[in-house]
Amino acid sequence: MDLQTLTYLVVGFTFALYIGIAFWARAATTGEFYAAGRGVHPVANGMATAADWMSAASFISMAGLIAFNGYGASVFLMGWTGGYVLLALLLAPYLRKFGKFTVPEFIGDRYYSRTARIVAVICLIIASVTYVIGQMKGIGVAFSRFLETEYDTGLYIGMGIVFIYAVMGGMKGITYTQIAQYCVLIFAYTVPAIFISLNITGNPVPQLGIGSTMADGSGTFMMDRLDQVVTDLGFKEYTTQVMGSKLNMFVYTLSLMIGTAGLPHVIIRFFTVPKVKDARSSAGWALVFIAILYTTAPAVGSMARLNLMNTIQTGEVGTVEGNIEIAKVPQWMTNWEKTGLLQWEDKNGDGRIQYYNDKNAEFAAKAEGWGWKGNEMTKVDRDIMVLANPEIASLPNWVIALVVAGGLAAALSTAAGLLLAISSSISHDLLKGVFIPDISEKNELLAGRLAMAGAIGVAGYFGLHPPDFAAGTVAIAFGLAASSIFPVLMMGIFYKKMNRSGAIWGMISGIGVTMLYVFQHKGIMFIPGTSFLGDMGPSWFLGISPNAFGAVGALVNFVVAILVSKVTAPPPDHIQHLVEDIRVPKGADTATDH
Amino acid sequence: MNKTAEQYWKANIRLVSILLAIWFVCSFLFGIILVEPLNTIKIGGVGLGFWFAQNGSIFTFLVLIYVYAKRMNALDVEFDVHED
């Protein structure tokens, strides 16, 4: 069976499965729609959270970032996992004890203020919508690439699929669908990794593969070989190359961690478990399922890089026979050349490809002596690494089809979770909470579904006409969540004296500073793979990249909130009692509805 | 807040502080600040600092959440604030 048919079959089957599950588990009450009736087992919830959390960025982009940024990409590995520690220790159990449906609802009640709730809704919507646009775009690209349709058609198909199961199923449907999606995506990620690790090191466990010797019998450690291969061609040493500066890496990691713990679609996950105890373990289970992919990613990234370098540099550097002949490039290279994401150009006309770092002046001079006239791999898009990996390692077609299905599962599950967070904040927080308090449950459910459909439309529109977003959207989403939502939630639980004015001004100044910085540098915030490393914006504050600025915004939020709360009236007694109450698990509401 | 609830909260804060200190050490300290000196220690061809940044910190995070959930559940029972 050819690859195209197989891809159709595998993707079609997984989609039928998702829609079937959504139909079977469709929501009937607002409790089920927003919080799955609080009847989700912690392990199941952890798996769903993992699928929710790991988007196209984790599945498709991250290993590519690691491949080309080496040690520098550790910020993503630590940042996107360490946030779960903050979530588990500082937020999840208390928010579950509080026992409501949405993040703004907590903020509104804790800070006894509609204004605070509305500010929180605005932060949440901006962060979620910007994030979902990126997912929609990923869905469109994946569909069009593999089903060989136009990008627009791919996007419409994706919107339709998301619409059906997110709008119908609500949180209950989404949760069970995401469990299926997790299974698909993790299988699709680890199977090729195991094969490749076996090929290169003989060790089937990718996590151990990076610490093993090469399978070629040379006795060289895999990482030493990789360092040698890349430095031989003038690239930075894989295991030591830094992203920007150490300070930038520090702040970047912190931003991603705080952003993780502040993203509403992740937080609302912990409203869906039966007990406070379950909220604690649920975060742990989520991280277990995330860690399976994240600890595999360094192996996928480093081995993909090694394979790529060895494909082009087939022999000794500097000898004529050392480089691959253009006529003999493997099939996967010509396949990806068609997409425009992989390009080469025979600059010196020798019929072979030279792939080296021509920005390294010293090495470029040496290369000229060999008759090399510049790097001939003119474009190597980092995003193709995961998708191309099974082809590079000559794995069977069903593995390639599976990877496509995995990428789509990752993008769809995240999009659905984000859409739910958006719809609940509009129908539950704005309509029921602020404008129409006596709305019936049926109408609230309808409003939630309409809001979701509207959000899909908006995201789809931006997906069709991306306003130069791409990587920048993710930065804004994380920056916003980190600088606005996390600090107010944390202080709401751990600092009893934090009051209304402190919270409102904290949120506004936190987002304000972050957005200002991000917009100020919007022109340079796009991350163009490796060149980003050496290309520090001279105007960046202390060399901190805009993507990393959320942590600074969060700091501003904390400082402003505390200062304002010191000079304004403390919160009333009943609020202080509320805080005392959410600190102890006893008496949590375990009912399915309220 | 009665006496027990106060002590429960103090015990909670102590636990969280210790765990967050380890969280900081395994990621920010070992993975970023002290990465060069730690990289001189090699295990299986991988520098220890590099390993912490790409794999070790994630494994540590898992242990932290596990310990937290286990200790907190024990504290709930000890101070009689657990659910049913």
DSSP string for residues in A61-107:
IHHHHHHHHGGGGHHHHHHHHHHHHHIIIIIHHHHHHHT-S-HHHHH
Q: Do B82 and A585 touch (CB under 8 A)?
A: yes
Could you tell me the pLDDT band of residue A413, with boundaries at 50, 70 and 90?
Answer: confident
Average pLDDT, chain B: 90
Which pLDDT value is given to residue A302? 92
Distance of CA B44 to the CA centre of its chain: 26
Q: Do B33 and A294 touch (CB under 8 A)?
A: no
Rounded Cα gap, residues A487 and A566, in angstroms: 16
CB A433 within 8 A of CB A111: no
Which pLDDT value is given to residue A494? 94
DSSP type of residue A235: P
Which pLDDT value is given to residue A527? 34
| Per-residue tokens: A320 | 């004529």
Which pLDDT value is given to residue A490? 94
Instruction: Tell me which chain A residue has its CA closest to the CA of residue B1.
Output: A580
Provide the percentage of residues in chain A whose pLDDT is more than 70.
87
Q: Do A585 and B16 touch (CB under 8 A)?
A: no
Q: Is A364's pLDDT higher than 50?
A: yes
Query: Does the beta carbon of B55 lie under 8 angstroms from any beta carbon of chain A?
Result: yes
Could you tell me the pLDDT band of residue A86, with boundaries at 50, 70 and 90?
Answer: very high
| Per-residue tokens: A345 | 């150009």
Mean pLDDT to the nearest integer, A340-361: 86
Name residues whose C-beta falls within 8 Å of residue B38's C-beta, 6 or more positions apart in sequence: B30, B47, B48, B49, B52
Rounded Cα gap, residues A463 and A478, in angstroms: 19
Could you tell me the pLDDT band of residue A407, with boundaries at 50, 70 and 90?
Answer: confident
Q: Is A398's pLDDT higher than 60?
A: yes
Q: Is A469's pLDDT higher than 50?
A: no
Distance of CA A48 to the CA centre of its chain: 15
Would B69 be classed as within a structural domain? yes
**Residue B46 backbone dihedrals phi, psi, to 5 degrees:** -110, 130
Which pLDDT value is given to residue A559? 96
| Per-residue tokens: A232 | 């031989």
| Per-residue tokens: B2 | 């009665």
The 10s digit of each residue's pLDDT in A34-72 is: 555 566 778 888 888 888 888 877 787 788 888 888 899
* Parallel/antiparallel/unpaired status of strands B46-47 and B42-43: antiparallel
Mean pLDDT to the nearest integer, A291-306: 92
Average pLDDT, chain A: 82
Q: Is A137's pLDDT higher than 60?
A: yes
Q: How far is B70 from chain A (nearest CA, A)?
A: 9
Q: Do B57 and A77 touch (CB under 8 A)?
A: yes
Nearest to A513 by CA among A489, A482, A539, A543: A482
Provide the percentage of residues in chain A whose pLDDT is more than 90.
20
Three-class SS state of A394: coil
Higher pLDDT, residue A529 or A151: A151
Would B83 be classed as within a structural domain? no
Distance of CA A199 to the CA centre of its chain: 29
**Range from A37-51, A156-170, A563-577 that averages highest in pLDDT:** A563-577
Residues of chain B in contact with residue A283, where contact means CB-CB under 8 angstroms, are 65
Which pLDDT value is given to residue A470? 45
| Per-residue tokens: A545 | 């990249």
Mean pLDDT to the nearest integer, A98-120: 88
Could you tell me the pLDDT band of residue A411, with boundaries at 50, 70 and 90?
Answer: confident
Which pLDDT value is given to residue A509? 94
Q: Is A219's pLDDT higher than 50?
A: yes
Q: Is A290's pLDDT higher than 90?
A: yes
Residues of chain A in contact with residue B84, where contact means CB-CB under 8 angstroms, are 590
Q: Do A288 and B62 touch (CB under 8 A)?
A: yes
Could you tell me the pLDDT band of residue A85, with boundaries at 50, 70 and 90?
Answer: very high
Rounded Cα gap, residues A426 and A453, in angstroms: 12
Detail the DSSP E strand segments found in chain B. 42-43, 46-47
Rounded Cα gap, residues A47 and A30, in angstroms: 23
Residues of chain B in contact with residue A584, where contact means CB-CB under 8 angstroms, are 5, 8, 81
Domain that holds residue B18: 3-78
Q: How far is A224 from chain B (nearest CA, A)?
A: 6
Would B49 be classed as within a structural domain? yes
Higher pLDDT, residue A538 or A558: A558
Query: Based on the number of CB atoms within 10 Å of its own CB, is B55 exposed (0-12), middle (13-18) or buried (19 or more)?
Result: buried
Which pLDDT value is given to residue B44? 79
Weakest-pLDDT range from A11-20, A82-91, A221-230: A11-20
Which pLDDT value is given to residue A379? 81
CB A90 within 8 A of CB B65: no
Rounded Cα gap, residues B29 and A354, in angstroms: 39
Which pLDDT value is given to residue A245? 84
Three-class SS state of B43: strand
Would B18 be classed as within a structural domain? yes
Q: How far is A161 from chain B (nearest CA, A)?
A: 34
Query: Measured between CB atoms, which of B20, B28, B61 is closest to A81?
Result: B61
Q: Do B12 and A93 touch (CB under 8 A)?
A: no
Instruction: Tell me which chain B residue has its CA closest to the CA of residue A580.
Output: B1
Q: Angle at CA A87, nearest 5°, toward A86 and A92?
A: 140
Which pLDDT value is given to residue A593? 37
Mean pLDDT to the nearest integer, A489-516: 92
Mean pLDDT to the nearest integer, A4-25: 82
Which pLDDT value is given to residue A111? 93
Could you tell me the pLDDT band of residue A143, with boundaries at 50, 70 and 90?
Answer: confident
Q: Do B1 and A580 touch (CB under 8 A)?
A: yes
Burial call A15-45: b when 16+ CB within 10 Å, e when fewer: beebbebbeebbbebbbbbbbbbbbbebbbb
Which pLDDT value is given to residue A314? 86
Which pLDDT value is given to residue A531? 31
Sketch out chain A's domains with CATH numbers: 3-24+33-307+387-582 (1.20.1730.10)
Q: How far is A249 from chain B (nearest CA, A)?
A: 7
Q: Which amino acid is at A282?
A: S
Which pLDDT value is given to residue A479? 81
Rounded Cα gap, residues A458 and A473, in angstroms: 14
CB A499 within 8 A of CB A107: no
Rounded Cα gap, residues A226 and A233, in angstroms: 11
Would B84 be classed as within a structural domain? no
CB A171 within 8 A of CB A26: no
Three-class SS state of B41: coil
Which pLDDT value is given to residue A523? 37
Q: Do B53 and A587 touch (CB under 8 A)?
A: no
Query: What is the mean pLDDT, run by run of 10 residues, along chain B of 84 residues?
Result: 79 95 95 90 87 94 95 90 78
Would B9 be classed as within a structural domain? yes
Distance between terminal CA atoms of chain B?
21
Burial call A253-282: b when 16+ CB within 10 Å, e when fewer: bbbbbbbbbbbbbbbbbbbbbbbbbbbbbb
Residues of chain A in contact with residue B5, where contact means CB-CB under 8 angstroms, are 580, 583-584
Q: Is A522's pLDDT higher than 50?
A: no
Q: Do A239 and B50 touch (CB under 8 A)?
A: yes
- Per DSSP, chain B holds a count of helices (H) and strands (E) of 4, 2
The total domain count for chain B is: 1
Which residue in this structure is represented by tokens 């198909």?
A157
Which pLDDT value is given to residue A588? 57
Would B23 be classed as within a structural domain? yes
For CA atoms A352, A358, A360, A364, the dihedral sign is: positive
Q: Is A591's pLDDT higher than 60?
A: no
Q: Do A587 and B83 touch (CB under 8 A)?
A: yes
Higher pLDDT, residue A164 or A580: A580
CB B5 within 8 A of CB A580: yes
| Per-residue tokens: A17 | 């499965």
Nearest to B31 by CA among A475, A253, A223, A245: A253
Q: Is A278's pLDDT higher than 50?
A: yes
Name residues whose C-beta falls within 8 Å of residue A46's C-beta, 6 or more positions apart in sequence: A281, A282, A283, A284, A285, A286, A287, A288, A289
Mean pLDDT to the nearest integer, A260-272: 83
CB A11 within 8 A of CB A148: no
Query: Measured between CB atoms, which of A81, A224, A587 is closest to B58?
Result: A81
Rounded Cα gap, residues A309 and B31, in angstroms: 27
